């Protein structure tokens, strides 16, 4: 199960990298916060997280509706 979760995370990372090459603004949406300090950088992708959460919720809802 742990190996499957790791592969899933790698696949999600690859999809996000490919999406960035095609100009999709994931990670640059309104609500994404980034702070560049002197010695550290902090990035909080709140807008992207909300968008992905809504999309997955809709997808899983549709899958559950068709499985009945």
Q: For 6-54, how does the pLDDT look when each residue is reduced to its tens digit (9 = 90+)? A: 998 899 888 878 887 888 777 778 888 989 999 999 989 898 889 889 9
Q: Is the pTM of this model over 0.85?
A: no
Looking at the chain, how many residues does it have?
68
CB contact at 8 A, 20 and 33: no
Domain positions in the chain are 25-68
Tokens of 53: 């959460």
The partner residues of 41 in beta bridges, in order of sequence, read: 36
Tokens of 10: 């790698």
Task: Please give the backbone phi and psi of residue 61, each rounded to the nearest 5 degrees, phi first.
Answer: -65, -45
State the virtual CA torsion across 40, 51, 21, 7 in degrees, nearest 10.
Answer: 80
């Amino acid at each position: 199960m742990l190996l499957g979760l790791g592969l899933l995370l790698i696949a999600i990372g690859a999809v996000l990298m490919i999406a960035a090459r095609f100009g999709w603004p994931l990670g640059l949406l309104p609500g994404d916060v980034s702070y560049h300090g002197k010695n550290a950088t902090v990035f909080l992708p709140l807008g992207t997280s909300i968008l992905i959460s809504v999309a997955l919720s809709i997808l899983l809802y549709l899958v559950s509706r068709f499985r009945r």
